[in-house]
Structure 1
Amino acid sequence: MRVFLLALLALFSSLSQAQPFANPFAQSDFLPVDKAFVFSAERQPSGEMRLHWKITDGYYLYQKRLKFDGVEPQAVPALPPGLAHSDEFFGDTQVYRGELELLLPASAKGQLRMGWQGCADAGLCYPPQTSVVDLGGAPSSAAPAQASDQALAGTLGEHGLAWGLLAFFGLGLLLAFTPCSLPMLPILAGLVMGNGASARRGWALAGAYVLSMALVYAALGVIAALLGASLQAWLQQPWLLGALAGLFILLALPMFGAFELQLPSFVRDRLERAGRNTRGGSLYGAALLGGLSGLLMGPCMTAPLAGALLYIAQSGNAVHGGLVLFSLGLGMGLPLLLLVTLGNRYLPRPGAWMNLVKGLFGFVFLAMALYTLRVVLAPSLWLGLAGAWLLALAWSAWPALKPIRALQPALLLAGLWGTLSIVGAAAGGDNLWKPLEPFAGKGQGTAISQAHADAFTTVTQPAELKAQLEQAKAQGQWVFVDYYADWCVSCKVMEKQVFARPDVLAALQGVRLIRLDVTADTPASKQLLQHYEVPGPPSMIWIGPEGDERRARRITGEVDAATFLQHWIATRSQG
């Protein structure tokens, strides 16, 4: 265990000094956007409002990216001539270097919503920024509106490391019961309860599990920030997912007594020795399971994770980023640790019931194998296997749990639902919650799916994205950009539960819908991710009719249809 922890800690140290990694967002010498472009707004004695940008050497602001909303047209300041500049993003244009000063007349009232964007000569182009200046008479400085990942990254940069560790630990507590981290609970419960560990041993096992999971999670996060979405795609390779699923099946075998099967003697002896050595739980086994949990959660993209990755990318400080991700992992693991270890105290004394518990957790491990393979298997096949799992669970548990009348309806429902799922899978269904959907609606679901597919334009090349954005800008059209990958489970969930809904499609009428497919780990996919500094899918972006992203409204991670529509309504109402 000690060697394992030292190896992971050494990984953090080596990452902080590693030079071969090509950071897709920023090199180590790139400044955060608020340091590269220091903006201030100050009321002058004359009553005019002075807007000032101090632009660091080696950086520049685009003239045509300056936007002024919320004030009368006559109050919009005249822009001074800029310097001629040519780049691959906007072609021949005018830029400002050194500093830029603009004056708004004293008569300007209300709130000025200002957009601007800058780049570095070394090749990094920052995302568009939005600042709000209060013109109601009192001197005010800009209060930039930020998305959640921006706000977290900015807070990490402004405050000390200790504050960041505490903040991300709290975020981890909030994330502990989200769909991304809930799969850890049955694994940890099976480890502690399934082995019949004592209270003290349970704390040790759960502690080793959570510590190992947090370290792996932090390491994956740092590597993902340095390599971009390449790691996300790599973690979804069929051979790796198959290996993980195989391990979960192997962990389920002792729960069913499968080691007593007539396997080859050398295999049987090894398995039996492994089973004897882990009675009551092994710390090394707990650490291994924690690492597996970290790998399972690695592809999950949430706003806190995106904020930490954005901070790492902008600052180049992989050690600080790794530490806050480690703190996030500890926060995610603490509620599970307490739930399993404290909950274990209230269980009855060891007895025959423990064999039943071990059998149930054997089914839990099989469920985790199915969960791991959900990306690789065809949807209908996955539905059929899930139905078979439910049917087998009900069939196996019925003899032992039949005397408990309160559980009889649940077992009958599980068996019935499993049967319906198998039938639905045979008919081409893929929805576990609506297994008989292929037999209902007479093709209505297919029509909705086809309407959804027709609504989005799939883009895989940067040149295609540029052409789509230029067309939308020329037509004064809103643009919605959805980053998608075949290996992204949350993307597929949103594809069915959000973007295929008639009310969502109706709300998006008139919006140009672009799906950026970054499934393949290619230079083109990396350029698409770099274009808006997106750490990985699912990420959703709104672009206004004038061509500027509404950065404060960016969505990172999986959301439901109601939340998505709220974002769109708020974005559209703010213009």
Structure 2
Amino acid sequence: MRVFLILLTLLLAGPLQANPFAVKPDFLPVEQAFVLTHDRLPDGQLRLFFQIQQGYYLYQKRLKFDGIEPSQQPQLPAAENHHDEFFGDSGVYRQQLELLIPASATGELRLGWQGCADAGLCYPPQTTVIDLGGKPPATAEQASDQALASGLQQASLAWSLLAFFGLGLLLAFTPCSLPMLPILAGLVLGNGASARRGWLLAGVYVLSMALVYAALGVVAALLGASLQAWLQQPWLLGSLAALFVALALPMFGAFELQLPAALRDRLDRAGQGTRGGNLYGAALLGALSGLLLGPCMTAPLAGALLYIAQSGDVLQGALVLFSLGLGMGLPLLLLVTLGNRYLPRPGAWMNAVKGVFGFVFLAMALYTVRSLLPAPLLLALAGAWLIALAWAAWLTLHTRPVLRVVPMLGALWGGLLLIGAAAGGNDLWQPLQPFAGNSTAATSAAKHDAFTTVSTPAALQRELDAAKARGQWVLVDYYADWCVACKVMENEVFARADVQTALDGVHLLRLDVTLDAPDSKALLQRYQVPGPPSLIWIGPEGDERRARRITGEVDAATFLQHWAQTRSQG
């Protein structure tokens, strides 16, 4: 009986395997299975990049580079061993492949390649023709991040440190770094530190902030955008906000914030003879400031990260980011410590100062979690904070009735914020927008409808192919729910009528990289974007205008200027 069953199984095996009704796997089109892009690096090399989908692979021996000299052939990276029915034992590439063509190569490159799917399909050989131009394009116009990365490659370490220190000085007064000011001011002025002690506290604060900033930048360059997303996790932002609230309450006399007795006694002995704040607290607040600034994408930071990613020189990247952090902290350090010199001697007025910085810390808590809260709730909390601040100022100014008009106006605006929040408003400067009719809602709806949101490489390629077939410009907007600057540009740039008019006829794509997932990493890797916000222009023929890339938050005027220059250059 057992022999009969075995024979029956063998007889049926062939017909079952040939069953015409069996489910066959769905294979991606070749251009979606193997997404090829190319761009120029700051040193003039042509970068060829294959994004290979899961379950597919490229053959190493099928790569051909016709049209260029043998000495200009790219060096192929080590391949993975693979055995299949088509070519036997072969070397293959999976997930991604990056190749570099020397800047000296000119003419037309005829790139040949072939790939297969694990499920049993082998695609025909493919050929792509790439125009290398008649001369090396190393001196072509570069975007700001490219220019900075190129400068790092060509300049000495001393010049690089000096240049990034200067960039940090300029960044110190941008919206990205201004939140440092109230924290540092609360640390020095709120503790009534002497001039010498204030310098020491502020110096420790800036030093620790710069160290954290450098470390975060290096890790972000090594790991991609996953660190930027991790720093925006709700639990981390909530913890930072709770800490700011805990720092604010002692300023109002709610309680005295103290360490455990044993640790406090040891620190007191270590810091005997000092007054006006604790160095350990200064270092802690500096580290927190570095965490707050870490996700803030700017062109200098993007340039440093691009250099680290291309060169692998983590040490120099860390040093220039450290220098950038010092430059950002120096103007604020001078502002706080020199400003402290002109304050009157310690006295009863210090209690009022502590109260002010208590409100500052509460504002920082609200600022930290602003990306997590619904817009109406954020508006309501801002209104409540403003009313509380106005009430405290009213009580403090009881001896100066003339000045009481200022807190009255503040309380009035806070009340308008609460009314606007109750009606579903979302604008701090126009809290009564919900009562203005449906024009704002219509503009907002048009703004959202104008963008096509994609979250996978395959969907992006379909949209790009469709736009190329129509001969249409494409604007690629890298976006994440945790990216506050992205939301600011969404409301203050793309919602404007003049911007929408200027973008008429442009295919608008929003790449959602909110999740720390393989698809998000692949989308960021597609154009070597360190993180959102980043805006990329794709020409009608399908190539990026790399020199016109926008990294970081910009206003409407700057955006329109970029678009006008991009369009005029074709």
Confirm whether residue 85 of structure 1 aligns to residue 109 of structure 2.
no
Q: 1:232 aligns with which of 228, 234, 241?
A: 228
Q: Is the 8 A contact 1:85 1:95 kept in 2?
A: no
Structure 1 letter corresponding to 2:339: G
Superposition deviation, residue 37 in structure 1: 5.2
Q: Is the 8 A contact 2:377 2:421 kept in 1?
A: yes
Structure 2 letter corresponding to 1:159: A
- Give the 5 Å matches for 1:49-128: 54=72, 56-58=74-76, 59=99, 82=110, 84-86=112-114, 92-94=126-128
Q: Match of 1:571?
A: 566
Q: Match of 1:453?
A: 448
Q: Match of 1:3?
A: none
Q: 2:43 aligns with which of 34, 47, 51?
A: 34
Q: Match of 1:524?
A: 519
Q: Which runs of 4+ in 1 moved over 4 A?
A: 35-38, 51-56, 100-103, 266-279
Q: 1:483 aligns with which of 478, 486, 489?
A: 478
Q: Match of 2:218?
A: 222
Q: Match of 1:126?
A: none
Confirm whether residue 512 of structure 1 aligns to residue 507 of structure 2.
yes
Q: Match of 1:4?
A: none
Superposition deviation, residue 36 in structure 1: 4.7
Superposition deviation, residue 240 in structure 1: 0.6
Structure 2 letter corresponding to 1:369: A
Q: Is the 8 A contact 2:42 2:142 kept in 1?
A: no
Q: 1:536 aligns with which of 512, 531, 536?
A: 531
Name the SS of the counterpart of 2:112 in structure 1.
Answer: strand
Once the two structures are superposed, residues 390-414 of structure 1 have per-residue CA deviations (whole angstroms, 9 ceiling, x without a partner) of 0000001112124346643321221
For structure 2, the 5+ residue unaligned runs are 1-39, 48-67, 77-98, 117-123
Once the two structures are superposed, residues 331-372 of structure 1 have per-residue CA deviations (whole angstroms, 9 ceiling, x without a partner) of 000000000001100001111111100100000000000000
Alpha carbons of structure 1 residues 83 and 235: separation in structure 2 relative to 1, 3 Å: closer
Q: What TM-score comes out, normalization by structure 2 length?
A: 0.78
Name the SS of the counterpart of 2:255 in structure 1.
Answer: helix
Confirm whether residue 318 of structure 1 aligns to residue 314 of structure 2.
yes
Q: Match of 1:345?
A: 341
Alpha carbons of structure 1 residues 473 and 163: separation in structure 2 relative to 1, 3 Å: same
Q: Is the 8 A contact 1:147 1:554 kept in 2?
A: yes
Q: 2:557 aligns with which of 533, 556, 562?
A: 562
C-alpha distance in 2 between matches for 1:317 and 1:61 = 21
Alpha carbons of structure 1 residues 376 and 409: separation in structure 2 relative to 1, 3 Å: same
Q: Which has the larger radius of gyration?
A: 2
Name the SS of the counterpart of 1:248 in structure 2.
Answer: helix
Superposition deviation, residue 273 in structure 1: 8.5
Structure 2 letter corresponding to 1:461: T
Q: Is the 8 A contact 2:248 2:361 kept in 1?
A: yes
Q: 1:499 aligns with which of 490, 494, 504?
A: 494
C-alpha distance in 1 between matches for 2:341 and 2:190 = 14
- Give the 5 Å matches for 1:413-452: 413-440=409-436, 442-452=437-447
Superposition deviation, residue 228 in structure 1: 1.1
For structure 1, the 5+ residue unaligned runs are 1-30, 39-50, 67-76, 104-113, 115-129, 132-141
Name the SS of the counterpart of 1:474 in structure 2.
Answer: helix
User: After alignment, is 296-305 or 274-283 more displaced?
Assistant: 274-283
Name the SS of the counterpart of 2:537 in structure 1.
Answer: strand
Q: Is the 8 A contact 1:172 1:331 kept in 2?
A: yes
- Give the 5 Å matches for 1:98-177: 131=137, 143-177=139-173
Once the two structures are superposed, residues 21-60 of structure 1 have per-residue CA deviations (whole angstroms, 9 ceiling, x without a partner) of xxxxxxxxxx96637559xxxxxxxxxxxx9994543346
Q: Is the 8 A contact 1:478 1:511 kept in 2?
A: yes
Alpha carbons of structure 1 residues 570 and 32: separation in structure 2 relative to 1, 3 Å: closer
Q: Is the 8 A contact 2:112 2:125 kept in 1?
A: no
Superposition deviation, residue 376 in structure 1: 1.0
- Give the 5 Å matches for 1:401-416: 401-404=397-400, 407-416=403-412
C-alpha distance in 2 between matches for 1:357 and 1:403 = 17
Structure 2 letter corresponding to 1:392: A
RMSD between superposed Cα atoms in Å: 3.0
Alpha carbons of structure 1 residues 416 and 35: separation in structure 2 relative to 1, 3 Å: same
Larger RCO (alpha carbons 8 Å, 6+ apart): 1
Q: Match of 2:31?
A: none
C-alpha distance in 1 between matches for 2:264 and 2:439 = 54
Alpha carbons of structure 1 residues 275 and 343: separation in structure 2 relative to 1, 3 Å: farther
C-alpha distance in 1 between matches for 2:423 and 2:548 = 40
Q: Is the 8 A contact 1:61 1:95 kept in 2?
A: no
C-alpha distance in 2 between matches for 1:274 and 1:192 = 22
C-alpha distance in 2 between matches for 1:299 and 1:102 = 38
Q: Match of 1:70?
A: none
Alpha carbons of structure 1 residues 195 and 545: separation in structure 2 relative to 1, 3 Å: same
Name the SS of the counterpart of 2:427 in structure 1.
Answer: coil
Superposition deviation, residue 317 in structure 1: 1.1
C-alpha distance in 2 between matches for 1:171 and 1:317 = 20
Alpha carbons of structure 1 residues 512 and 362: separation in structure 2 relative to 1, 3 Å: same
Superposition deviation, residue 271 in structure 1: 12
C-alpha distance in 2 between matches for 1:157 and 1:528 = 26
C-alpha distance in 2 between matches for 1:356 and 1:295 = 29
Name the SS of the counterpart of 1:435 in structure 2.
Answer: coil
Confirm whether residue 380 of structure 1 aligns to residue 376 of structure 2.
yes
Q: Match of 2:180?
A: 184
Confirm whether residue 213 of structure 1 aligns to residue 209 of structure 2.
yes
Structure 2 letter corresponding to 1:471: A
Once the two structures are superposed, residues 39-87 of structure 1 have per-residue CA deviations (whole angstroms, 9 ceiling, x without a partner) of xxxxxxxxxxxx999454334659xxx9xxxxxxxxxx9x567352247
Q: Match of 2:288?
A: 292
Structure 2 letter corresponding to 1:531: R
Name the SS of the counterpart of 1:385 in structure 2.
Answer: helix
C-alpha distance in 1 between matches for 2:353 and 2:523 = 48
Structure 2 letter corresponding to 1:395: W
Structure 2 letter corresponding to 1:450: A
Once the two structures are superposed, residues 63-114 of structure 1 have per-residue CA deviations (whole angstroms, 9 ceiling, x without a partner) of xxx9xxxxxxxxxx9x5673522479x9822468xxx9976xxxxxxxxxx8
Name the SS of the counterpart of 1:534 in structure 2.
Answer: coil
Name the SS of the counterpart of 2:289 in structure 1.
Answer: helix
Alpha carbons of structure 1 residues 506 and 95: separation in structure 2 relative to 1, 3 Å: closer
Once the two structures are superposed, residues 371-427 of structure 1 have per-residue CA deviations (whole angstroms, 9 ceiling, x without a partner) of 001011111111100100000000011121243466433212211111110111111
Number of corresponding residues:
476
Superposition deviation, residue 186 in structure 1: 0.4
